[in-house]
């Protein structure tokens, strides 16, 4: 992610800089601290599933190259380990854990059929092509066990991966989101107004010098 349209408009802004300020209260610290302490090693996936899951996360969730990656696959594994469902599922899908086991095995099977190797060993372009085929509902290997691949993609892959990613402070910083609003609260509600604990935006076409200025301002956001 390096072109003008995808680089962050909020250089120098870090939601976590507010952790020890009046912007956050004890429960906010506890909730976010626990999220940041998600174990990086899998407890639900076996090694084969883990390799496929990690590859799928990297392929689907685009992340900035200039900061540590949000551990999306580990967050997914934690959710599956705890079997934390949504309270519903489409009748065409099996339960949460079964859907993921089946889906990852099917992606490896599709990969082997097409390229002779598993998903993790494909080039990024090949991975993207396979994921796109999944999105279009074009994958029908017996390993899917009649689970519609496009529904697995929209209801599990996108829902679970992006749900995890955008619960992480690094992702909030990237899009200029203030983070938990309580206890600070918003005072300035009108357009183009920001509270002192909110990020300053650099226009997409701003110069390097302008971005440096914005970066300095964002370093003061608490």
* Closer to other proteins by Cβ: residue 121 or 135: 135
* Closer to other proteins by Cβ: residue 46 or 86: 86
d(CA 94, CA 90): 8
Q: Which residues contact 97 (CB under 8 A, 6 or more apart)?
A: 44, 80, 83
Q: Residue 16's closest CA among 186, 168, 206?
A: 168
CB of 60 to other proteins, least distance (A): 5
CB of 69 to other proteins, least distance (A): 13
CB of 167 to other proteins, least distance (A): 4
- Say if residues 117 and 111 touch (Cβ distance below 8 Å): yes
* Closer to other proteins by Cβ: residue 120 or 171: 171
* Closer to other proteins by Cβ: residue 21 or 113: 21
Contacts 24+ apart (CB under 8 A), 65-71: 65/1, 65/2, 67/170, 68/170, 70/164, 70/165, 70/168, 70/170, 70/171, 71/38, 71/40
* Closer to other proteins by Cβ: residue 65 or 142: 65
3-state secondary structure of 141: coil
CB of 190 to other proteins, least distance (A): 7
CB of 103 to other proteins, least distance (A): 15
Take residue 139 and report the two structure tokens written for it: 């994958």
Q: Residue 134's closest CA among 117, 164, 116, 155?
A: 155
3-state secondary structure of 67: coil
- Say if residues 66 and 2 touch (Cβ distance below 8 Å): no
DSSP state, 200?
Answer: P
Q: Which residues bind other proteins (CB under 8 A)?
A: 1, 5-9, 25-28, 30-32, 35, 59-63, 84-92, 95, 128, 131, 135, 154, 158-159, 162-163, 165-167, 171-172, 174-178, 180-182, 186, 189-194, 198, 201, 204
CB of 163 to other proteins, least distance (A): 5
* Closer to other proteins by Cβ: residue 39 or 204: 204
């Amino acid at each position: 992610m390096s072109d003008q349209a995808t680089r962050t408009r909020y250089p120098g802004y870090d939601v976590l800089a507010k952790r020890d300020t009046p912007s956050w209260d004890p429960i906010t610290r506890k909730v976010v601290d626990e999220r940041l302490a998600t174990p990086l090693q899998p407890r639900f996936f076996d090694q084969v599933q883990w390799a496929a899951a990690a590859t799928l996360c990297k392929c689907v969730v685009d992340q900035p190259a200039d900061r540590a990656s949000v551990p999306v696959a580990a967050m997914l594994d934690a959710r599956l380990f705890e079997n934390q469902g949504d309270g519903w599922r489409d009748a065409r899908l099996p339960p949460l854990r079964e859907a993921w086991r089946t889906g990852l095995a099917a992606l490896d099977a599709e990969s082997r059929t097409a390229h002779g190797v598993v998903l993790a060993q494909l080039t990024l372009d090949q991975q993207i092509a396979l994921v796109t085929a999944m999105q279009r509902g074009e994958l029908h290997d017996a390993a899917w066990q009649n689970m519609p691949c496009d529904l697995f993609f929209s209801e599990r892959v996108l829902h679970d991966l992006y749900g995890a990613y955008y619960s992480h402070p690094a992702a909030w910083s990237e899009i200029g989101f203030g983070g938990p609003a309580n206890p600070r609260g918003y005072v300035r509600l009108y357009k183009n107004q920001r509270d002192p604990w909110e990020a300053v935006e650099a226009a997409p076409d701003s110069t390097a010098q302008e971005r440096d200025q914005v970066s300095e301002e964002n370093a003061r956001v608490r």
